[in-house]
Amino acid sequence: MGRALSNNLINMGIKEAVQEVLRDMEINYNVIEDEEPDAGLGNGGLGRLAACFLDSLATLDYPGHGYGIRYEYGMFEQHIEDGYQVEYPDNWLKYRDPWEIRRSDLAVTVVFGGHVNVRRDENGRDHFSVEGGEVVTATPYDMPIIGYDTKTVNTLRLWEATSPNGFDLQLFNNMEYTKAVERQTSAENISRVLYPNDSGPSGKALRLKQQYFFTSASLQDLIRAYVAKYGKDFSHFAELHVIQLNDTHPVVAIPELMRIFLDVYSLQWDEAWDIVTKTFAYTNHTILAEALEKWPIDIFQGLLPRIYQIVEEINRRFLIELREKYPSDYQRHDSMSIISHGMIYMAWLAIHGSFSVNGVAALHTEILKTQELRNWAELYPHKFNNKTNGVTQRRWLLCANPALSDFITEKIGHGWEKDLSKLKGLEKFADDSAAQQQFLDIKRANKQKLAEYLKVTQNEFLDPDSIFDVQIKRLHEYKRQLLNILHIMYLYNKIIEDPSFDMPARTFIFGAKAASGYRRAKTIIKLINTVAERINNDRRVKGKLRVVFVENYRVSVAEKIFPASDVSEQISTAGKEASGTGNMKFMLNGALTLGTMDGANIEIVEEAGAENAFIFGLTAEAIAKIEEEHSYVPQKYLDRNPGLAKVISQLVDGTYDPTGRLFKELHDSLVYGIEGQRPDVYYVLADFDAYVEAQEKVAHAYLDSKNWAKMALLNIARAGKFSSDRTIEDYVRDIWKLKKVTF
CA–CA–CA angle 481, 483, 488 (5° rounding): 95
Contact residue for ligand 8GP among 220, 530, 568, 579 (CB under 6 A): 579
Residues 288-327 that bind ligand 8GP (CB under 6 A): 291
Single out the residue of 282, 340, 369, 644 nearest to residue 489, CA to CA: 644
Q: How far is the CB of 449 from ligand 8GP (least distance, A)?
A: 27
Nearer to ligand 8GP, 650 or 724 (CB): 724
- Burial (CB count within 10 angstroms: exposed 0-12, middle 13-18, buried 19+), residue 498: exposed
Size of the site for ligand 8GP (CB under 6 A): 19
Cβ-proximal residues to 548 (8 Å cutoff; 6+ apart), any chain: 454, 458, 460, 462, 507, 508, 509, 510, 532
Contact residue for ligand 8GP among 150, 191, 218, 286 (CB under 6 A): 286
Given the residues 473, 513, 667, 710, the one annotated as active site:
473
710 is catalytic: no
Binding piece for ligand 8GP, criterion CB under 6 A, among 148-156, 307-315, 495-503, 571-579: 571-579
Q: Residue 279, interface with ligand 8GP (CB under 6 A)?
A: no
Contact residue for ligand 8GP among 247, 551, 569, 680 (CB under 6 A): 247
Rounded CA Rg of the chain: 27
End-to-end Cα spacing for the chain: 27
Q: How far is the CB of 184 from ligand 8GP (least distance, A)?
A: 29
Maximum alpha-carbon separation in the chain? 94
Q: In terms of DSSP bridges, do strands 339-340 and 467-472 run parallel, antiparallel, or are they unpaired?
A: unpaired
Cβ-proximal residues to 88 (8 Å cutoff; 6+ apart), any chain: 76, 77, 78, 79
Nearer to ligand 8GP, 40 or 599 (CB): 599
How far is the C-alpha of 269 from the C-alpha of 126, rounded, in Å? 12
585 is catalytic: yes
Q: How far is the CB of 387 from ligand 8GP (least distance, A)?
A: 9
Contact residue for ligand 8GP among 580, 590, 617, 634 (CB under 6 A): 580
Contact residue for ligand 8GP among 218, 556, 573, 581 (CB under 6 A): 581
How far is the C-alpha of 614 from the C-alpha of 596, rounded, in Å? 9
Nearer to ligand 8GP, 45 or 255 (CB): 45
383 is catalytic: no
249 is catalytic: no
- Burial (CB count within 10 angstroms: exposed 0-12, middle 13-18, buried 19+), residue 680: buried
Binding mask 74-113 for ligand 8GP (x = CB under 6 A): ----------------------------------------
Q: Residue 360, interface with ligand 8GP (CB under 6 A)?
A: yes
Residues 599-628 that bind ligand 8GP (CB under 6 A): 599
Given the residues 259, 387, 479, 513, the one annotated as active site:
479
Binding piece for ligand 8GP, criterion CB under 6 A, among 283-291, 345-353, 540-548, 625-633: 283-291
Nearer to ligand 8GP, 601 or 669 (CB): 601
Q: How far is the CB of 739 from ligand 8GP (least distance, A)?
A: 26
Q: How far is the CB of 155 from ligand 8GP (least distance, A)?
A: 22
Q: In terms of DSSP bridges, do strands 343-345 and 66-69 run parallel, antiparallel, or are they unpaired?
A: unpaired
Given the residues 285, 369, 522, 544, the one annotated as active site:
285
Single out the residue of 287, 202, 288 nearest to residue 249, CA to CA: 202
Binding piece for ligand 8GP, criterion CB under 6 A, among 5-13, 436-444, 576-584, 702-710: 576-584
DSSP assignment of 413-467, as one string?
-S-TTT-GGGGGGGGGGTT-HHHHHHHHHHHHHHHHHHHHHHHHHH-----TTSE
Contact residue for ligand 8GP among 61, 77, 160, 198 (CB under 6 A): 198
Q: Alpha carbon of 531 to those of 461, 493, 528, 536, 548: distances in Å?
A: 16, 12, 5, 8, 10
581 is catalytic: yes
Binding piece for ligand 8GP, criterion CB under 6 A, among 65-73, 532-540, 572-580, 654-662: 572-580
Host H or E run for residue 387:
none
How far is the C-alpha of 97 from the C-alpha of 78, rounded, in Å? 21
Our measurement of the distance from residue 527's CA atom to the centroid of its chain's CA atoms, rounded to an integer in Å, reads 24
Q: Give the nearest residue (CB) to ligand 8GP.
A: 45
619 is catalytic: no
Q: How far is the CB of 706 from ligand 8GP (least distance, A)?
A: 33
Cβ-proximal residues to 384 (8 Å cutoff; 6+ apart), any chain: 357, 358, 365, 368, 369, 373, 376, 377
DSSP assignment of 561-576, as one string?
HGGG-SEEEE-PPTTT
**Three-state secondary structure string covering 308-335:** HHHHHHHHHHHHHHHHHHCCCCHHHHHH
Q: Residue 391, interface with ligand 8GP (CB under 6 A)?
A: no
Report helix, strand or coil for 412. Answer: helix
Residues 199-218 that bind ligand 8GP (CB under 6 A): 199
Binding piece for ligand 8GP, criterion CB under 6 A, among 80-88, 119-127, 332-340, 577-585: 577-585
Q: How far is the CB of 293 from ligand 8GP (least distance, A)?
A: 8
Nearer to ligand 8GP, 150 or 365 (CB): 365
Residues 44-63 that bind ligand 8GP (CB under 6 A): 44-46, 49
| The residue type at 647 | V
Binding piece for ligand 8GP, criterion CB under 6 A, among 26-34, 136-144, 579-587, 646-654: 579-587
Cα atoms in the Cβ-side hemisphere of radius 13 Å centred on 6: 25
**Contact residues for ligand 8GP (CB under 6 A)?**
43-46, 49, 198-199, 247, 285-286, 291, 360, 389, 577-581, 599
> Active-site residues: which are they?
285, 473-474, 479, 581, 585
